[in-house]
Amino acid sequence: MQCPSCQNTDSRVLESRSADTGRSVRRRRECLHCDFRFTTYERVETTPITVIKRNGAKELFNRSKIIQGLNRACEKTLLNTEKIALIVDGIELKLQQNISKEIKSIEIGEMVLTQLKKCE
């Protein structure tokens, strides 16, 4: 890992912990050359999920679209942003575990509705 201060590549890990609900690792590092401390995040690279729209167009999965839609739909309910984030995390995890990396947008909508029913 390259130091942001002196660009030396020798560093040691001071602390490691799980971040982003276990999907990445946060590491606190110290440069062996200049003693500068910095934080790095490591995330497993996953294959992208393709969403097939109703008109047949394809686009990459974008979790922020689901978050925006849920925020808009639930703004006058008791569902807070933390629960919405958990719902989207669960849906994204199911999509990543799916063998097929293409999914129809209507199937994602059904997954969202199923999760909303569980929150009631």
Burial class (CB in 10 A: 0-12, 13-18, 19+), 17: exposed
| Amino acid in position 69 | G
What percent of the chain shows pLDDT beyond 90? 53
Q: What is the pLDDT of residue 44?
A: 76
Of these ranges, 26-40, 42-56, 79-93, 106-120, the one predicted with the greatest mean pLDDT is 26-40
> pLDDT per residue over 74-107, tens digit each?
888 888 888 888 889 889 888 888 888 899 999 9
- Average pLDDT for the chain: 89
Q: What is the pLDDT of residue 52?
A: 94
How many whole angstroms separate alpha carbon 13 and alpha carbon 78?
41
More confident residue, 79 or 45: 79
Q: What is the pLDDT of residue 119?
A: 78
Model pTM score? 0.62
